[in-house]
Structure 1
Amino acid sequence: MARIVVVGPHPDDQELGMGGTIARLASQGHHLLLLDMTNGEPTPLGSPEIRKAETAAATKILSPDPAEHPGSVPITRMLLGLTNREVQHTLEARHRTAAVFRAWQADMVFTTYPVDAHPDHRAVTRIVEDARFDSKLSKITMPAPVDLWTGATLEGPGVEDGGKQTRPCHPKWLFYYYATHLRWVADPSFVFDITGCVDTKIDAIRAYHTQFVLPEKNRKVVDWVAASAVYFGSRIGTDAGEPFHTREPVGLNSLASLAI
């Protein structure tokens, strides 16, 4: 099964952009790590403690029930700890992110689409793109990263020497999900079928109570996300879908590789 890292500039970005895909992939037995680059604070109604609890609740909702999905793997989540509203594309940020990829031995990485009004989103996309390259570097020390949600060192197959080093890797795939602050409709490279996972996605978004339930003006965001899932599902002939972009071609070896 694939080892996947889903990067979000802030807690809730992953759920908004690809919560259904996360739930589906986890239920299929893939190993998912959700990497929050910042804790998302300050916000008008939140606090670091509240956002931590909301993030844990959302992750639990997305994680599959092993009784219903034998062979599934619980979702792992960690906080890198960059500063919300001040994310910068720096060598330090690149290498800290690359250390996550190496520790997890990521085969595949998802991050936000590069065209966005939010400076944090644009910066994170650049960090992830360069970290993907940096993760394969040899003759460099990249210690195992610490999860700032819990204070624990991330465990993974690439952690070596008691956490003092991580083994090089190079994620084969980099895909972009849409959680943009621009008012435009995505023109995706492909759409992932999330039929049966929409309710899970919406419940995970609503777990961020301070962001999408308490602020009345933000409640409609949930409706927009649900409508988007129906629209993109209709583009591939299913009940629901999530759009993705890739800068590299996706290969097929038979028509059976096409889901629809």
Structure 2
Amino acid sequence: MSDSLDILIFGAHADDAEIGMGATIAKHAASGLRVGICDLTYAEMSSNGTVEIRKEEAEKAAKILGLTMRSNLGLPDRGLSLTQAYIERITLEIRKHKPRIVFAPYWQDRHPDHIACSHLIQEAVFNAKLRNYAPATEPVNVQQLYFYFINDVYEADLMVDVTESYDAKIAALSAYRSQFVTGQDTVATPLNQGYVERVEARDRLMGQKRMITYAEGFVSKLPLLVDRFN
């Protein structure tokens, strides 16, 4: 079996991809596509949980979603910046997995790491196709780069009907108990103050635009291509 992926999703932290497009991931994985997630950091600056706990939660979520692979580049949490070293690490990850489609966080968000991640992925997707960039590895021409929303939602270019796969998204988010559930040793953060419920309400509202129960929205910087209008 080929090691190449159909879809590769990048996030700054484990749980970013699940928040933004967990049901879309589950839907495509269940259909037989090879889907992977690459987290850029171990979220070591999180107010709740530990690196080891976050790793365990990410692995549990990966199984729920049906991922082919999940990796972590170990870049510094709250230290993401547009440096050549970080761009190269991400570029090589793209070349390793040869995805047809890449997803990145939308470039506007309340969390600076999500913004930085978005810009890093855009740079890496561009570099991945250049024959003379890191010539020891083969170039990869990603067919499409899409952006997903995490904390802040803007106007979507397209949406995916995820009604049938939405339970998998909620189950994957529930795997991150250290982030979304309050406990004796936790401190209050936006994530454990009804955040998952607000994400669900957001996805219901997105679906309402096309009279479906749940939808996840995405943005493309390139015009969407169709063969014809049906």
Partner Cα distance (1:131, 1:246) in 2: 16
1:213 is the counterpart of 2:181: yes
1:91 is the counterpart of 2:84: yes
Query: 1:239: Cα distance to partner?
Result: 1.3
Aligned match of 1:194 in 162, 165, 169?
162
* Partner residue, 1:253: 227
Query: 1:2: Cα distance to partner?
Result: 6.4
- Equivalent position amino acid for 2:142 in 1: P
Aligned match of 1:168 in 139, 153, 157?
139
1:33 is the counterpart of 2:1: no
TM-score (norm 1): 0.80
- Equivalent position amino acid for 2:141 in 1: H
Partner Cα distance (1:50, 1:19) in 2: 20
Superposed CA offset, 1:18-40 (max 9, x none): 00000001111111110100011
Preserved CA contact (<8 Å) 1:105 1:169: yes
Stretches of 4+ moved more than 6 A in 1? none
Aligned match of 2:114 in 121, 135, 145?
121
Query: 1:219: Cα distance to partner?
Result: 4.4
Query: 1:198: Cα distance to partner?
Result: 1.3
* Partner residue, 2:149: 178
Partner Cα distance (2:111, 2:195) in 1: 16
Query: 1:254: Cα distance to partner?
Result: 2.8
Aligned match of 2:68 in 75, 84, 87?
75
1:42 is the counterpart of 2:10: no
Partner Cα distance (2:92, 2:112) in 1: 23
Partner Cα distance (1:230, 1:195) in 2: 9
1:228 is the counterpart of 2:221: no
Query: 1:196: Cα distance to partner?
Result: 1.3
* Partner residue, 1:20: 23
Q: 1:205 to 1:43 in 2, by over 3 A?
A: same
Aligned residues: 221
RMSD: 1.7
Query: 1:61: Cα distance to partner?
Result: 0.9
Preserved CA contact (<8 Å) 1:18 1:242: yes
Query: 1:140: Cα distance to partner?
Result: 4.0
SS of structure 1 residue aligned to 2:150: coil
Q: 1:2 to 1:105 in 2, by over 3 A?
A: closer
Superposed CA offset, 1:206-226 (max 9, x none): 111110012566141110111
- Equivalent position amino acid for 2:210 in 1: I
Preserved CA contact (<8 Å) 1:198 1:229: no
Instruction: Show structure 2 runs of 5+ residues with no match.
Output: none
Superposed CA offset, 1:206-260 (max 9, x none): 111110012566141110111112111111221110011111111111334xxxx
TM-score (norm 2): 0.90
Instruction: Show structure 1 runs of 5+ residues with no match.
Output: 64-73, 143-164
SS of structure 2 residue aligned to 1:41: coil
Superposed CA offset, 1:58-103 (max 9, x none): 111111xxxxxxxxxx421000111001111111111110111111
Structure 1 residues 18-27 or 247-256, which shifts more? 247-256
Query: 1:141: Cα distance to partner?
Result: 3.2
